[in-house]
Structure 1
Amino acid sequence: MTSAVESVVRVIRVDVEAPRPGDPVPLPNPRVSWHVHSFAPEWRQARAELRWDYDGRSSTAVLAGTQQLRLGWPFEPLAPRARGELRVRVIGLDGVASAWSEPVPIAAGFFGEGEWDADWIGHPNPEHEAQPVVLRHEFDANGVVRATLYATAVGVYQAALNGTDVDDHVLKPGWTPFAERTIADMTDVTSLIREGSNCLSVRMAGAWATEHFGFRQNAQPRYGTQPRMAAQLLLEFADGSSQWIRTGHEWRTASGALKFSGLYKGERYDARADLIDASGVRYAEPGYDDSRWDAARAFPAEPVPEPRISPPVRRIEEISPASAQVTDAGATILDFGQNLVGRLRMRVSGPAGTTITLRHAEVLEDGQLATRPLRRANATDIYTLAGGGDEVWEPEFTFHGFRFAEITGWPGELQPDDVVAVVIHSDMQRTGWFSTSHPLLQRLHDNVVWSLRGNFLSLPTDCPQRDERLGWTGDIQIFAPTAGFLYDVRGFLDSWLRDLAIEQDSEGMVPFVVPNVLGLARPAAAWGDAAVVVPDVLHQQFGDLDTLARQYSSARAWVDLCVRLAGPDLIWEGDFQFGDWLDPTAPPDRPGQAMTATGLVATACLARSAVLLARAAEMLGHTSDFERYTRIPDQVRTAFVREYVTP
């Protein structure tokens, strides 16, 4: 029989530290949180019990107290690929326990010490920069009881086992400072293994790794001119033995139907060049004749990849056109009624060799796509039909920011349901909502949400459409509190902050963008303050003391640099500053010409960051730092009033 307390108190959700619920956990001791629903306002938690079921065994731990957020893992550290289920129940002050929560599956997403030994491989004979490539390898397997794939790239990729994609991620593994940090996804592919012959294949393009980053004549690739990847597949057998299948020289490579791919320019795909052999077998299936393919090229080793922390990018939503119009030139312009980030998916049939061109823009100008704001970004996808029936195509390794799409070359009459817009972004959980009866205020809020969705794609960026799309530090430090209300951005920003610390120099200088693809930078108030502000937001909104502690030295180095630059008067003037970049009175094409003096902005930012750093020092038990950084804000305020406030 259910007790009275059981009926009014339930553990409704259990969260384990992972990119998303159900995703592999990235560390041996994940944090655990739970949410309780109670109909009794006076109910209070006295303790909680956690039950961990694994390998036919069960362990129970009791955690005393009222805490429910980010508690330490109370069991033995997880081993690589460990799997099990976690349940939680809570006990009130009256000693009555709730029912156990629903089980939460857990899988350890990291590999063991020394297990990573895959070669980095890519196209041996690329015809041009950023050449897309297809790679494949066949192997035999019998009696497999579990198969686990680890894969990464400097570039973007999708892996398939026997012709089926291993997951629904997009543009993985995302963008990090590749020379110092790479990310590996772990995927359970047991269900895709066949008895006998198997084929592991990979489609790969350059994306962030080969894009020309920078402005005007300074634009160039920052991570090499060709993409490369590495993977290893662990096969575990019923008799207890195991076998690793790793990327290496025995893998075969070819150029496929994807002829060109770039984030800014878009993709060019010729379906007539799809890789099907004389027997009708596709390249991703075992038995395909790859005798004319080349052996993979070995690339120098990249950093050993880390497990994923940030939620992967996924296809989140599909939007049908709201309206269509035909231009005088015969092009069709589709209006999706909403600025979004993603690409188009189309279903078409027509003669072989027919070429369809898709162009994208956020606004129209004189009834045509307004492409001037895109600068170097062509935002154009081109598809050539194979012929012979319905063909469905969606660009795979690019994305665009757009509301309007222009389609030319369509065979026959374009029907409204022939094309949809596919919205993609990092797959974060929604946590905050706002609604009002005021239509303009609601539209403003909805625009904020769409702006977040469009700019939180692997990392926080400034814009999703033009030839930029960079992780500007100033943008996220001001937007992080809003982002943390709307979505669970803890893992997303935790991952990005690791990259910030990597890109920060020995003097404490934080670059303008992270990853830093603009080269040398200078200390800039508000922008560099992301090192202090963003960890503070994660602690304030998500109780994330771990990230606050890990980033503490980075935050302190930045504040110390700002204090040195401010000098004995503690007024930070005379150096380059962006200043108030959001001043509405500044000319639209010259946001740096704000009314507020840049020194005033920089000095105010120094005071704020010192306050946040002192609070972090107190939380982390750094007593001497707390005493020091507590004095600095008062000293800066005094200097600020003396310099900028008229009596």
Structure 2
Amino acid sequence: MHVYGLRAEYRADTPFTAASRPRLSWKTADAAPGWTQAGAEIEWRRSEAAAVARVEGRDSVLVEWPFESLQPREEGSVRIRVHGADGSTSDWSEPLDVRAGFLGDGEWHARFITVPEPADIGQPMRLRREFTVRPGLETATLYATARGVYQVEIDGVPVDADRLKPGWTAYRSRLVHETNDVTDLLREGPNAIGANLAGGWYTERFGFHGQARPFYGKYPSFAAQLHLEYDDGTTEVVATGDGWRATADGPVTASGIYAGESHDARRALPGWSSPGYDDARWLDARPDTAKAQVPVPATAPPVRATGELPVQEVITTPSGRTVVDFGQNLVGHLRISVQGREGDTVVLRHAEVLEHGELGTRPLRHAKATDTYTLAGNGTETWQPEFTFHGFRYAEIQGWPGEFDPADVTAIVVHSDLERTGHFSSSHELLDRLHENVVWGMRGNFVSIPTDCPQRDERLGWTGDIQVFAPAASFLYDCDGFLASWLDDLAREQFDDGAVPFIVPNVLEWAQTPAAAWGDAATVVPTVLFDRFGDRAVLERQYPSMRAWTDHLAALAGDRLLWEGRFQFGDWLDPDAPPEDPARAKTDPDIVASAYFQRSAALTARAASELGHAEDAAKYGALAESAREAWVREYVTAASRIVSDAPTAYALAIEFDLVTDPAVRERMGARLAWLVRRAGYRIGTGFVGTPIIQDALTRTGHAETARRLLLQTDNPSWLYPVTMGATTIWERWDSMLEDGTINPGEMTSFNHYAFGAIADWLHRTVAGLAPLEPGYRRLAVAPVPLAGLDRAAAELETPYGRARVGWEVHDGRIVVHAQVPPNTTALVTLPGRASEEVGSGDHEWTVDDPRTEPRSPGLTVDARLSDLIEDAEAYGAVLRAVESADPERARGLRRGAVWTEHRTLRSELQDAGLLARVGQALADLKRD
């Protein structure tokens, strides 16, 4: 038995912590089956002094710091020894270095500085200063930030590999700094510190329809202080302000998040961040007088390069252009190695798709997404942009000198450097590719903040997208600190009346109108972080925000307790909505809004109860119940129909527990399944309904309907984009049409994760691994094996350790395996067996296979469409027969048929030739 995974607070990528009392987490491995922790010893060692504290009980996730608060720049090491309820004791864990990464009150006195006269909005620049290190240096700690994006070099060496520092926060109220130990970069005597700086998000032009403009400021500025601590106890601080020099004459001539970056290697400044450098073009830096926040230490992992992809194919387009294909839609940039003459310029244009063989740039809208590199002409030159990123699979190469070799171009994958924790696999190739697309979509849209898309002139923190995707995200990656940081900004951007903007950080003045499923991120995301990571502190920090949002909705709902008649996005991007009006969904937006009002009230009541606010718990619990009753009274008929007779409406009623009567829920589940079948098992939901429809079906006994919906490949469906070669999740179900044409809508992205929320259902239900208590302290092992799959498995590094649930079909029976981490238990619910509670360890069960795949023997052209759609084999035979004679008619049958018991195949086709062909195809089916 041993302890591993020891960490302090959120970040495991650095010893520096942002908290003076960092919470500690650890895991236990190789313990005896059923092992639980009875207590643990925590040792805190500084130099030769050590203190030991004991905590009693099972707590091992985000345990409160048991020692005195850390002081600025204090450092030491922590190690853990656990004791089991069975009397066992582990060895001490490996020590974890812990260092205070924050400054003390009043210690920040660096001034923001910039070039004397910026020439352009977002002007790239460099700043530097020389200083002397005395003998006896013990520690050098750098605190740095920017209004913009930056990298620091000391004596010619970058201080880290982070990108786009300090990231994007609500700059007007919160700016973060990174903390680096730079002791090893310094030497006794003269040294130099330099900052490479561009505008990034701070100077970006935000807005739509050609009306974009800078929101925060027009030029970047930089602030830092370097603390030098000597062995005689003295300290020196090198801070931005007087004595710094600046220039805008460096090689980066232009840089923007949307536009891309331009680099002229002829303007290189060799030695600019080393001592002894002298260039008359450098002038005294000037203070940036705009009001600035005192920066606070970053709590989320930084953006980094996390992978590389080689060119998979070189394409010559119909117009004769050279395009490289990396085989994967990704976010990042290119690295090129090129030889040529001085002044040769290589132009790199990026896009996610090809349209009719050419680079498909229309979805980028006003984003140029173009990088340029002008050669110095001094042999092989290797370059990559520093302060921009693009969403792309394809890149067009223009101006390449000499013969082009694809080995000289590499795609660098860039995103917030989160730890991958969750995996899913199955026997279904398309399903596994769908899940991989979800992973890549998350990677591309977790760049400092959770964004909607990474390629066009948007890339904003839309609250609705992360509200629906947070459960899936929390399984795939350890994103607790990342989303907790973003929630801090959400609370800061919340308006005085409690309204939550559409986007966080909010850079659109019109985005303050409250919208259901978007603003509800204020209540949903903290709840997800509590459930998935056991992060009670984030629930406590966000509770005032949760309460303010719910109070705001209560005021909007008024005496009727219905949120109605106001602006809403509704079930955004319902597949039946026209391209030009993505909000025109089948489900009335008031139904969606009032359902979310009830849900936010219920989640606020739950948070209040967890935090011990009994009066609030009673208040919001009563509000949620009253809102639920109002929703049922207004929108549910006596026959258990919802006035918007659409899948999303029924999914909301079931999954949000708006309808509690078991008989009514059963009828609603049956109606939902009927609607799905009527549509030919093609998806009929948008942003709101898609994350919950599969749960609503399986919870009401319609797993077979959920299976058919999941494995559908016709447009629209989850797997249709996969059949079209998608490698990320699309914004629209049909972002690309069957003929290879990009959707005509003005808003079309090929990398949006919202519809990828299905992954959470794959993890919890298809594989069967779900949390029952916060942080997976108690698991649910409850797979729902689906016909058409021979196996499925989910694996997760939970806060307590590795968990895994998987099932396989063997000789007509299903074998279920589960790995339950030490210090946890699991409730096991399997087909045909009573539920049972098990302890940690490896478990296996064998159960009878409950699955059946409907087949209707002897179908003819007089078959009811409801019978035909239930028989996948017969349905496929009919479509193939129709398509061989009339492809357009086959497309119409797929998209336009109403698959009910009141229609027949004969009445649908009404063509003697087609009927004969179809009848023969059905007769040719060999049935057992």
TM-score of the superposed pair, with normalisation by structure 2: 0.68
Instruction: For 2:425, give the aligned amino acid.
Output: S
Task: Write the deviation string for residues 9-60 of structure 1: whole angstroms up to 9, x where unpaired.
Answer: 2212212114234341101100011111134113221110111111221111
Shift in Å, 1:330: 4.6
1:204-219 matched pairs, under 5 angstroms: 204-219=197-212
- Alpha-carbon distance in 2 for matches of 1:642, 1:44: 48
Aligned equivalents of 1:413, 1:435: Cα separation in 2: 42
Aligned twin of 2:543: 552
Q: CA-to-partner distance for each residue in 1:442-478, whole Å, 9 max, x for gaps?
A: 1110010011000000000000000000000111111
Residue 499 (structure 2) aligns with: 509
How many matched pairs?
Answer: 634
Question: What is the alpha-carbon distance in structure 2 between the residues aligned to residue 262 and residue 176 of structure 1?
Answer: 17
2:487 corresponds to which residue? Answer: 497
Question: Quick one: which of 56, 72, 90 aligns to 1:98?
Answer: 90
Q: What is the aligned partner in structure 1 of residue 682 from structure 2?
A: none
Is residue 2:179 matched to residue 1:186? yes
Instruction: Compare CA radii of gyration and give the structure with the larger one.
Output: 2
Give me the whole-angstrom Cα distance separating, in 2, the residues matched to 1:346 and 1:637: 58
Asked if 2 retains the 8 angstrom alpha-carbon contact of 1:342 and 1:401, the reply is: yes
Q: Which residue of 1 aligns with 2:238?
A: 245
Q: Distance in 1 between matches of 2:81 and 2:357?
A: 61
Name the residue aligned to 1:414: 404
Q: Pick from 217, 222, 228 the counterpart of residue 235 of structure 1.
A: 228
Residues 522 and 545, structure 2, Cα contact 8 Å, conserved in 1: yes
Match of 2:294 among 289, 298, 304: 304
Q: What residue number does 2:254 align with? A: 260
Name the structure 2 match of 1:575.
566
Contact 2:333 2:385 in 1 (8 A): yes
2:554 counterpart residue number: 563
Structure 2 CA distance, aligned partners of 1:16 and 1:292? 46
CA contact (8 A) 1:89 1:97 kept: yes
Q: Secondary structure of 2:281's match?
A: coil
1:463 match: 453
The answer to whether structure 1 residue 138 and structure 2 residue 130 are counterparts is yes
1:338 paired to 2:314: no
Q: Distance in 2 between matches of 1:611 and 1:321?
A: 50
Question: Which residue of 2 is the match for residue 3 of structure 1?
Answer: none
Secondary structure, counterpart of 1:208 in structure 2: helix
Equivalent position of 1:52 in the other structure: 44
Match of 2:714 in 1: none
Q: Which residue number in structure 2 is paired with residue 79 of structure 1?
A: 71
2:303 and 2:417 in contact (8 A); partners too: yes
Measure the CA separation in 2 of the matches of 1:544 and 1:454.
25
- 8 Å CA contact 2:347–2:370 kept in 1: the answer is yes
Of 57, 60, 69, which aligns to 1:65?
57
Is the CA contact 2:202–2:220 (under 8 Å) kept in the aligned structure 1? yes
Shift of 1:285: 1.3
SS of equivalent residue, structure 1 residue 244: strand
| CA apart distance, 1:388 | 1.3
Q: Is the 8 A contact 1:15 1:21 kept in 2?
A: no
Counterparts of 1:80-479 in structure 2, within 5 Å, are 80-143=72-135, 144-255=137-248, 256-276=250-270, 282-300=271-289, 301-327=291-317, 329-479=319-469
Matches of 1:625 and 1:485 in 2, distance apart?
A: 30
Partner of 1:6: none
Q: Over residues 421-449 of structure 1, what are the superposed CA-to-partner deviations in whole Å (9 max), with x where a residue is unaligned?
A: 00000011111110112111011100100
Provide TM-score, normalisation by structure 1. 0.97
2:388 counterpart SS class: coil
Per-residue deviation, 1:329: 5.0
Task: After TM superposition, give the deviation of residue 371 of structure 1 in Å.
Answer: 0.4
Deviation at 1:326, TM superposition (A): 2.5
SS in 1 for 2:457: coil
Supply the distance in 2 between the matched residues of 1:330 and 1:366 (Cα, whole angstroms). 13
Is there any run of 5+ residues in structure 2 with no aligned partner, and where? 639-928
Confirm or deny: 8 A CA contact 2:13 2:301 kept in the other structure. Answer: no
Q: Say if 1:19 and 1:308, in contact at 8 Å, map to a contact too.
A: no
C-alpha separation in 2, matches of 1:588 and 1:14: 50
1:625 lines up with 2:616 in the alignment: yes
- Which has the larger displacement, 89-98 or 434-443? 89-98
Q: Give the Cα–Cα distance (whole angstroms) in 2 for the partners of residues 344 and 252 of structure 1.
A: 31
Q: CA deviation at 1:217?
A: 4.3
Cα deviation code 1:395-415 (max 9, x no counterpart): 000000000000011111121
Q: Alpha-carbon deviation of 1:575?
A: 0.8
1:147/1:319 Cα in 2 relative to 1: closer, same or farther (>3 Å)? same
Point out where structure 1 has 5 or more consecutive residues left out of the alignment: 1-8, 277-281
Q: Distance in 1 between matches of 2:575 and 2:317?
A: 35
Matched residues, percent identical?
54
Query: How many Å separate the matches in 2 of 1:629 and 1:292?
Result: 64
| Equivalent residue letter for 1:478 | V
Q: CA deviation at 1:638?
A: 1.4
Instruction: Please give the alpha-carbon distance, in whole angstroms, between the structure 1 residues aligned to 2:564 and 2:10.
Output: 43
Contact 1:149 1:231 survives alignment (8 Å): yes
Worse overlay, 366-375 or 287-296? 287-296
Indicate if the aligned counterparts of 1:19 and 1:312 stay in contact, CA closer than 8 A.
no
Partner of 1:637: 628
Q: Contact 1:610 / 1:632 at 8 angstroms: preserved in 2?
A: yes
**CA distance in 1 between partners of 2:585 and 2:184 (Å):** 59
* Change in CA separation of 1:477 and 1:318 when aligned onto 2, cut-off 3 Å: same
Which moved further from structure 2: 33-42 or 43-52?
Answer: 33-42
Pairwise CA RMSD of aligned residues?
A: 1.1
Q: CA deviation at 1:563?
A: 1.0
Richer in helix (by share): 2
Structure 1 CA distance for aligned equivalents of residues 422 and 573 of structure 2: 25
